């Protein structure tokens, strides 16, 4: 694995993926993009086992100035052909689709700025914890581009059409409080504490039955991707196995015993 992307598997159930190019604000050159795609595939392979001890994935950036500033323009400037651009956006776009499909929650711990492609990565995460210095913004229109890694579609689903269109055309930069108010952030924490805030979320997640966590994510993603009635059916299908699962059975037994006591 390249040093540009670090993976740490922690005993508390968190897998931490770190963009590790602080000298260039954690921008991703083509080698780093390939390394990131490899790490996501590695996580997906491990999580195919429902008994995996992994409870959540955290993405963060090395240092305090940036989560990720997107593509490394010094490297990508050599890619002038349309087919080269198509290959680059497919590489990262497919990696982010695979990240979204992980069965456990994915949390972006955003320190400093996450602009351009960095915001696209953050929006592909299920939850976002921003420190108070963080900035989010899809700035591609300033460079004569649109989002290429799926960020526009994810922003649309989070903000709705009018606000997403306005944010893209104006290349709006959201401060941490603005992102929280708009629904782009789940938590805002003091400067330097984004990772700690994300780990606190993992602690909450890890206290739940892993099967329940996976079912919650699967049910809500069905709602994003399927027509309403199909999503209802998908949610219903997830319920019966949990009903007969050990956690629910033990919870019922504890409740009934409590009711029987004088």
User: What is the distance between the alpha carbons of residues 231 and 253, in angstroms, rounded to a whole number?
Assistant: 31
The per-residue pLDDT for range 73-104, each reduced to its tens digit, is 999 988 889 999 999 999 999 999 999 999 99
To 5 degrees, how large is the angle CA 86–CA 87–CA 91?
115
Whole-Å CA distances, 95 to 72, 84, 125: 17, 17, 12
The per-residue pLDDT for range 114-124, each reduced to its tens digit, is 999 999 999 99
CATH top-level class of 5-206: alpha beta
Mean pLDDT of 194-216: 98
Q: Decide if 128 contacts 107 (C-beta within 8 A).
A: yes
Q: Decide if 32 contacts 4 (C-beta within 8 A).
A: yes
The per-residue pLDDT for range 221-246, each reduced to its tens digit, is 999 999 999 999 999 999 999 999 99
In the chain, residues under CATH classification 3.90.226.10 are 5-206
């Amino acid at each position: 694995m390249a040093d540009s992307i670090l993976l740490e598997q922690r005993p508390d159930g968190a897998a931490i993926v770190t963009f590790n190019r602080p000298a260039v604000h954690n921008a991703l050159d083509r080698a780093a993009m390939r390394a990131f795609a490899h790490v996501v595939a590695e996580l997906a392979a491990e999580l195919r086992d429902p008994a995996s001890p992994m409870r959540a994935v955290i993405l963060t950036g090395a240092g305090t100035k940036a989560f990720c500033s997107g593509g490394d323009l010094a490297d990508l400037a050599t890619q002038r052909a349309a087919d080269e651009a198509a290959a680059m956006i497919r590489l990262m776009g497919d990696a982010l689709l695979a990240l979204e499909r992980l069965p456990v929650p994915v949390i972006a711990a955003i320190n400093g700025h996450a602009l351009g492609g960095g915001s696209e990565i953050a929006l592909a995460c299920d939850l976002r914890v921003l420190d108070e210095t963080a900035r989010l913004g899809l700035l591609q229109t300033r460079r004569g581009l649109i989002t290429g890694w799926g960020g526009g579609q994810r922003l649309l689903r989070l903000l709705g059409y009018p606000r997403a269109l306005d944010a893209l055309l104006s290349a709006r930069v959201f401060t941490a409080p603005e992102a929280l108010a708009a629904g782009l952030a789940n938590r805002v924490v003091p400067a330097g504490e984004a990772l700690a805030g994300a780990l606190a979320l993992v602690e909450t997640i890890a206290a739940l039955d892993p099967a329940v966590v996976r079912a919650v994510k699967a049910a809500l993603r069905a709602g994003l991707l399927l027509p309403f009635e199909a999503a209802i059916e998908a949610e219903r299908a997830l319920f019966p196995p949990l009903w007969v699962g050990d956690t629910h059975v033990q919870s019922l037994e504890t409740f009934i015993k409590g009711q029987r006591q004088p």
